[in-house]
Amino acid sequence: MLLNMILIAGLGNPGEKFKGTRHNIGFKIIDHYQKENHFPDFQLKEKFKSLLSSQGNIILAKPQTFMNSSGKALKKLSSYFEIEKIIVVHDDFDLNLGEIRISKNRGSGGHKGINSIMTELGNDFTRVRIGIKPEKKIENLEKFVLKKFKKKERKLLKPVLERGRRILDTIIDKGSDKAMNRFN
């Protein structure tokens, strides 16, 4: 078994119905990272309730448990592999669309996927929070996060994918604190 494993989990909901939704921006960032860094294709691993791709000491995971139960998949992965560092990429309604913030050892901010991870593993992990907050006020947050990005919004998100990849590389190579100093 490899030591010093790094687990990078992108949060989202499985299935075609949720593809391209705001809640699935974590999956989108992880897909971009996988492609740009030449990781193998994702494979469904039922044992871990996740789509996985790995290269060297890095495991990319897209939990297939639905957002609000993400912690169950991450716990299975953490129990099996000797994980030294966990990085979670997810949507954040408190940040403007396209904004990215890195945080470490913080509360969930009401994010149910992060609540699930904290319930299973505590809060000793790094979060890459991707802003999805719209310009206009919305009435129902739960409906909003399950809607697909509009064409105009998708254009704004293209540079976010690359910035997310650079942030992940920096966290891996130099640590969370250096990444926060550079990108926050």
Q: Please give the positions annotated as active site.
A: 23
Q: Give the bridge partners for 86, in sequence order.
A: 7
The long-range contacts involving 143-150, CB below 8 angstroms and separated by at least 24 positions, are 144/22, 144/93, 145/21, 145/22, 145/23, 145/91, 145/93, 146/13, 146/18, 146/21, 146/22, 146/23, 147/21, 147/22, 148/20, 148/21, 148/22, 149/20, 149/21, 149/22
Provide the residue type at 74 as one letter: L
C-alpha 25/C-alpha 131 separation (Å) is 9
Q: Show the CA angle centred on residue 36, arms to residues 93 and 65, nearest 5°.
A: 50
On whether the CB atoms of residues 68 and 8 are closer than 8 A, the answer is: no
Task: Give the Cα separation of 108 and 118 in Å (integer).
Answer: 8
